A and B are shown apart, each in its own frame.
Chain A
Amino acid sequence: MMSTSPLMELTDIYKSFGNVNALKGVSISINRGECHCLLGDNGAGKSTLIKIMSGVHQPTAGQVNINGKPTVLQGPREAIDSGIATVYQDLALIPLMSVSRNFWLGRELTKKIGPITVMDFEKCNSILMSEMEKIGIQLRDPNQSIGTLSGGERQTVAIARAVFFGAEILILDEPTSALGVYQTSNVLKTVEKVREKGVAVVFISHNVSHALAVGDKFTVLSRGETLGTALAGEINYEELQFMMSGNKELSALKNSK
């Protein structure tokens, strides 16, 4: 029903910092309306990979295709313009500012009063309130500060903002790692909603159960290499955990219990 070529395709990506090889031949493809989970232990190369996808780093070798065209993303701004939005764990929003000011930051709606251009708060606030309602956040007031929201709500606002401003690929960096159970389930619901809109979601996590709850595809990274990609239903919790943990530690713990 949709075009078959992937939205974004990374082939044989190498990235080294000095003599440290962070990525050693990683390939991954991202499709529309699909939640692709990127799993891996700390230091597996997840962060490096998403930084390449969001234009922060450039690969040492390998090819990046966006919409089938070979592309070199020179910076975050270029990635954003190509429809790739990244929601970082703690860098997404400014806690002292209101929800509305945060949501519109950098893309403020304006109107003219005589010769002077001012922010159109009425329009900003009314669009914000309807967007928040759609995504399931009960805002008391568009002017309440981001700091009054829970961690899960902040993630949700950041996701809603990225999608509202036309993200086609949404990269979520450990969106649930700092959250409690209830907030995690809310964020996962948001991911589900966004995916249904046709947005491609790249979900980075080291929590297998969170990934299994929303993922369509699972790619496991280990020591800078992909251990393979599996579809939902083809793989279970134990197998993913087993792959992530480098085939031993956790399972060994389990057996000893």
Chain B
Amino acid sequence: MSINIKNISHIRAYFKNAMLRPDLGAIVGVMLVFLFFFLVAHDTGMFSLEGSMNWGIVSSQFIIIAVGACLLMIAGEFDLSVGSMIGFSGIVIAVTSIVWGWPVWLSILTAFAVAMSIGALIGYITVKTNLPSFIVSLAFLYILRGLTIFVAIASTKKTIIGGINEFSQNDWLAPIFGGKIFSGLFEWLAEQGWIQTFVAGTKAGQPVVSGIPAMMVWALGLIIFGHFLLTKTRFGNWIYASGGDAQAARHIGVPVNKVKILMFVFTAFCATVFATTQVIEFGSASADRGILKEFEAIISVVIGGALLTGGYGSVIGAALGAIIFGVVQQGLFFIGVESSLFRVFLGVLLLLAVILNTHVRKLITGSK
């Protein structure tokens, strides 16, 4: 009898712990989304190799910026300048390489250096003024977007700067952002007749999907890095503490300001990765690129179970949130639903996620 009661309480404790996983909602969400589209869209080619690449790439884009936003949100801050930073970094690469004639690798490294310095500046202003990062980064949303358009127009009289392909083709650094890996494997698979090939045109005989795009590799790499940093290292412990209760963390000697500034730098890094992969892939940079990306990143993170107030969340959850985002967006396209409805869905999902997260928070902190 007493053993039974003990077992039951153990099982209950186990379920309660599982309930408190930040990414549980996102795990269930991903399963539901895949189940739904598998039932409705299995005959549309959405889950063929080519179709999977389609939503896989879109999801990867969301993941790249979501990982940065996730760690920053857990550290207790927001960055609304992510979208503008994407446009800005892209234009920095284009202007330095096309207009000034720098080698592409130097342009890319410069974009990273400049973006990360601006990230550090946003962080520095936030911790020094004690203002909400919401406001400080909103200011930079406008500052960076304005500068981006100004620089593009002042140097080329256009807002879209193209022709980077010619320069990036023989560059050593560009393929890390725009190349494909396992091309040989995909060619071999095509030769064996296991994957689809083009049947006509100049590419006839070549596989439709010719490799894994670098963007997916970056997404995976950032998930692994972010998850490892957050859950396995002492710095990760400080990220949680800085967002959970900055004052208590300072009392115990955690360098809260340093942690927060570094997370702003990391967010800027992720935005620049996003920008660079796009510039190399499209061969052009556009001053209006990245608009609304900051919100898409934050939504992915919240769907992934992180608390808007900081101190709690998961990189895996944010990645799953990004996948939900990507799969639904592309899935609606596959089943031919009007794409404007995607935004309705997103709004509803965001609302549900925030309500669920708030409930989970009450369970953890025991507060009313």
Let me know if A91 and B248 touch, CB within 8 A: yes
Let me know if A147 and B234 touch, CB within 8 A: no
Please name the residue on chain B nearest to A94 by beta carbon. Answer: B244
Q: How many residues of B contact A (CB 8 A)?
A: 28
Contact of B233 among A94, A104, A119, A140 (CB under 8 A): A119
Let me know if B244 and A96 touch, CB within 8 A: yes
Please name the residue on chain B nearest to A113 by beta carbon. Answer: B232
Interface of A is mostly: loop
Let me know if A117 and B233 touch, CB within 8 A: yes
| B-side contacts of A107, CB under 8 Å | 253
Please name the residue on chain A nearest to B243 by beta carbon. Answer: A96
| A-side contacts of B252, CB under 8 Å | 105-106
Let me know if A96 and B240 touch, CB within 8 A: yes
Complex Cα spacing A76 to B254, Å: 12
Please judge, given known A-B contacts A76-B251, A106-B254, whether A97 and B234 are in contact too, CB under 8 Å. no
Interface of B is mostly: helix
Whether A164 sits at the interface, judged by CB under 8 Å, is no
Please name the residue on chain A nearest to B312 by beta carbon. Answer: A96
Complex Cα spacing A108 to B254, Å: 11
Report A115 CB to chain B, min CB distance, Å: 13
Please name the residue on chain B nearest to A101 by beta carbon. Answer: B237
Per-residue CB proximity of B280-304 to A under 8 Å, as 1/0? 0000000000000000000000000
Within 8 A of A (CB), among B220-258: 232-234, 236-238, 240-241, 244-245, 247-249, 251-254
Let me know if B253 and A94 touch, CB within 8 A: no
Please judge, given known A-B contacts A76-B251, A80-B253, A147-B365, whether A118 and B241 are in contact too, CB under 8 Å. no
| A-side contacts of B17, CB under 8 Å | 141, 143-144
| A-side contacts of B241, CB under 8 Å | 94, 97, 101, 105-106
Let me know if A95 and B232 touch, CB within 8 A: no
Whether B364 sits at the interface, judged by CB under 8 Å, is yes
Interface size range on A against B: 20 to 34
Let me know if A119 and B234 touch, CB within 8 A: yes
Please judge, given known A-B contacts A95-B365, A148-B364, whether A101 and B245 are in contact too, CB under 8 Å. no
| B-side contacts of A106, CB under 8 Å | 238, 241, 249, 252-254
Let me know if A96 and B251 touch, CB within 8 A: no
| A-side contacts of B361, CB under 8 Å | 96
| A-side contacts of B307, CB under 8 Å | 96
Whether B13 sits at the interface, judged by CB under 8 Å, is yes
Whether B336 sits at the interface, judged by CB under 8 Å, is no
Let me know if B364 and A105 touch, CB within 8 A: no
| B-side contacts of A143, CB under 8 Å | 17
Whether A11 sits at the interface, judged by CB under 8 Å, is no
| B-side contacts of A91, CB under 8 Å | 245, 247-248, 251
Please judge, given known A-B contacts A88-B251, A94-B245, whether A140 and B312 are in contact too, CB under 8 Å. no
Within 8 A of A (CB), among B53-90: none
| A-side contacts of B311, CB under 8 Å | 94, 96-97
A-B contact pairs, 9 of them (CB 8 A): A76-B251, A95-B244, A95-B245, A96-B244, A96-B311, A110-B234, A118-B233, A141-B13, A143-B17
Which residues of A pack against B, CB within 8 Å? 76-77, 80, 88, 91-97, 101, 104-108, 110, 117-119, 140-141, 143-145, 147-148
List 4 A-B pairs, minimum CB-CB distance, nearest first: A147-B365, A108-B234, A94-B244, A106-B252
Extra 8 A-B pairs, beta carbons < 8 Å, given A77-B253, A95-B364, A96-B364: A80-B253, A95-B365, A101-B237, A105-B252, A118-B233, A144-B17, A145-B365, A147-B364
Which residues of B pack against A, CB within 8 Å? 13, 17, 20, 232-234, 236-238, 240-241, 244-245, 247-249, 251-254, 307, 311-312, 361, 364-367
